Amino acid sequence: MTSPPLRLGVNVDHVATVRNARGGPRPDPVRAALLAIEAGADGITAHLREDRRHINDADMARLKAAISKPLNFEMAATEQMLDIAVATAPHAVCLVPEKRTERTTEGGLDVVGQHDYLLPYVDQLTREGVRVSLFIEPSTEAIDAAVLMKAPVVELHTGAWCHAVEVGDMGRAEAEFARVAQAAAYGAALGLEIHAGHGLDYETARRVSALPQIVELNIGHFLVGEAIFVGLAEAIRRMREAMEQGRAQSC
């Protein structure tokens, strides 16, 4: 059985992080998004955080106007963000947890405990014609909760697995990868579209691409870091190559 095509969503948040470190207009995340698409990205992801630490409101509007590929708007489930998302009308919204004290997203949504809180956001975005995804921990409980909310897409949080690989804790890494693989298979069997992201590099992207149920990876920080050394277009080319190598193993 042939695996479905695997898409790459490039997150441009940390282009904005570099810009904001100095102030002014450069580097421009919209320019980075256009270059990423030219280099082979299938879509662009941007997270408008409540504290606007990287992407800002104007960036989101400019991204929507400028890019020809789907825009994936990451946001916390708040009334303000819902209003902005409806006004922006992106292709997709990924609901993510958010804490002001964190450096980056630290885990998946509590979709089990927050079902009643999250459900109205899923419902309204769906009514607005936006494809909704939930950023969740790779667990069967979280998958079941996503199905109950009628979210069509989940993005599996790969951060715990990638961190274990990074620090060389291979026993933990194998256990975490098994969780990702099990959740991907379980979710796909229930009819969900499965994405994955957080902490991925060339090696971990290659391995997770071998899971046939996963149809999209969203990667940002690593690609922006690699761009310092090899350029953004080359970093994306290498990432696509790693993904294709992994995907070939699943066929």
The residues annotated as belonging to the active site are: 47, 74, 198
Residue 107 carries which DSSP code? Answer: S
> Whole-angstrom Cα distance, residue 182 to residue 139?
8
**Distance between terminal CA atoms of the chain?**
7
